[in-house]
Amino acid sequence: MDGTIYSVITGTGNYIPSRRITNEDFLGYEFYDESGLKLEKTNQEIIDKFREITTIAERRYVPDDMVTSDIAYYAGLDALESSGIDKETLDYLIVAHNFGDVSSAKPMTDIVPSLASRVKYKLGIKNPDTVAYDLTFGCPGWLQAMIQADYFIKSGDASRILVIGAEVLSRVSDPHDRDSMLYADGAGATILEARESEEPVGILSHKTRSDTLLHSNMLHMDKSYNPWNGSDQHLFLKMNGRKLYQYALETVPQAIKECLEKSKIHLKEIKNVLIHQANGKMDDAILKRLYTLYNMMEIPKNIMPMTIEWLGNSSVATLPTLLDLMMKSKLEQFTIVRGDTLVLASVGAGMNINTMVYRV
């Protein structure tokens, strides 16, 4: 057979924490604005408005005795088991995250050794040629790691790669900032393998952009909004939500269109659009804008699977977790079958955007 080498997903996995945090769990919190003034609205009003804007009703947090590398390990193990491959045959193990291991007892970033090294150790991989490294790229980190893995495979440098996206945002979110209700914990993983094929399959195209000159500070670390909340050395994730929403709306649909054009595939051929689960209403707006770019006024039903209502925003973990649930027919009305063509897209800190066209 004289075909082309493609990067194909042969296994998926996830770790969804069992600890459910509902919106009502925030009723006892004290919320402040960025100037340090306590919000005048009642928590019930704040929560109701939050649900209306984001569609989030609950999210998942890890137990106190776990950190990011732990849940990355469980997601990676799940992916290895679903693929059935020998872990010692992996050429690379890439872990996408942004905050390292942050413990419940001491909320400080810990990334030495790298999380990938820790996951490789926990998986018991002996092979020294399994290269383990981390990737930090904001919420688009897992998808960017998949893009890097595709380059490794297309170059002939690798044939099997484990890619994991894991994050514990609950320990870097300010309990006095209403945006903290967005964030969740979780991990997702994929096995990417080289496959020779005469027909296009697997990763067909991808597109990445970084808009740092004007937008690099839309997500950043800063002190708590509560002026009486202790030391300035403990920093929390902060976001300019309105500007981020507008930026995503202006750039993500166009990036998806450019990626589709690279693969010579029209939007009407796409079975599902998987967008990073950051804000339900924002994703709806992005999808609508995407179809408008193609002069398609009617959006097909069940085109965009969503998990944000019950899983919240788990950063790099949202896309691989969503993909795993679909691959294993665990998401009602969203089952992937051979021949389906998907679009995946993410936007996040940097500001970074990436997108990929994938054929099952």
Q: What is the DSSP string of 122-161?
A: HHT---TTSEEEEE--STTHHHHHHHHHHHHHHTTS-SEE
**Which tokens in the block code for residue 268?**
């009407």
**C-alpha distances in Å from residue 312, one per residue of 9, 58, 121, 170, 343:** 25, 6, 29, 11, 21
User: Residue 115 pLDDT more than 80?
Assistant: yes
pLDDT category at 217 given cuts 50, 70, 90 is: confident
Which residues, 6+ apart, have CB-to-CB distance to 11 below 8 Å? Answer: 79, 80, 81, 82, 83, 84, 85, 190, 191
Distance of alpha carbon 271 from the chain centroid: 20
User: Region 156-162: what's the mean pLDDT?
Assistant: 97
Q: Indicate which CATH number applies to the domain containing 345.
A: 3.40.47.10
Residues 238 and 346 in one domain: yes
Q: Reduce the secondary structure of 216-265 to three states and give it as a string.
A: CCCEEEECCCCCCCCCCCCCEEEECHHHHHHHHHHHHHHHHHHHHHHHCC
Which residues sit opposite 72 in a β-bridge? none
> In whole angstroms, how far apart are CA 156 and each of 149, 152, 195, 217, 276?
11, 6, 11, 37, 30
Residue 231 has pLDDT above 70, yes or no: no
pLDDT band at residue 230, thresholds of 50, 70 and 90? Answer: low
Which pLDDT does position 233 carry in this prediction? 66
pLDDT mean over 310-326 = 97
Which of these three, 144, 166, 197, is where a domain ends? 197
Q: Give the whole-number percent of the chain exceeding pLDDT 90.
A: 90
Q: Is the pLDDT of residue 166 over 90?
A: yes
Contact of 169 with 314, CB cutoff 8 Å: yes
Predicted confidence (pLDDT) at residue 214 exceeds the cutoff of 70: yes
Q: What is the DSSP letter of 183?
A: B
Give buried/exposed letters for 68-107 (b at 16+ CB in 10 A, else e).
bbbbbbbbbbbbbebbebebeebbbbbbbbbbbbbeeeee
Based on the fold, state whether residues 179 and 304 are members of the same structural domain.
no
pLDDT digits over 2-14, tens only? Answer: 689 999 999 999 9
Q: What is the pLDDT of residues 277-297, one digit of tens each?
A: 999 999 999 999 999 999 998
User: How many domains does one find in the chain?
Assistant: 2
Which residue, of 164, 197, 230, is where some domain finishes? 197
| CA torsion angle 53 329 207 184 (round to 10) | 40
- In this structure, are 166 and 217 located in the same domain? no
Torsion of the alpha carbons at 210, 358, 245 and 235, rounded to the nearest 10: -60
| Token output for 18 | 């069992």
Instruction: Write out pLDDT tens, residues 292-312.
Output: 999 998 999 999 999 999 999
pLDDT surpassing 80 at residue 1: no
Helices (H), ranges, the chain? 43-54, 68-83, 115-123, 141-154, 212-215, 241-263, 280-293, 308-311, 318-327
Q: Are residues 21 and 170 in the same domain?
A: yes
Residues 17 and 143 in one domain: yes
Instruction: Print the domain residue range for 70.
Output: 4-197
Instruction: Name which residue leads in pLDDT, 231 or 44.
Output: 44
Instruction: Classify 331 as helix, strand or coil.
Output: coil
Do 246 and 186 share a domain, yes or no?
no
Question: Do 162 and 212 belong to one domain?
Answer: no
- Give the pTM: 0.95
Q: What is the pLDDT of residue 185?
A: 98
Terminal-residue alpha carbon distance, the chain: 20
Do 189 and 209 fall within a single domain? no
Res 105: pLDDT: 87
Last residue of a domain, one of 155, 173, 197: 197
Mean pLDDT of 226-247: 83
List phi, psi (to 5°) of 34.
Answer: -65, -15
Same domain, 274 and 173: no
My answer on whether 183 and 222 are in the same domain is no
Check whether residue 342 and residue 315 sit in a common domain: yes
Please tell me whether residues 285 and 172 are part of one structural domain.
no
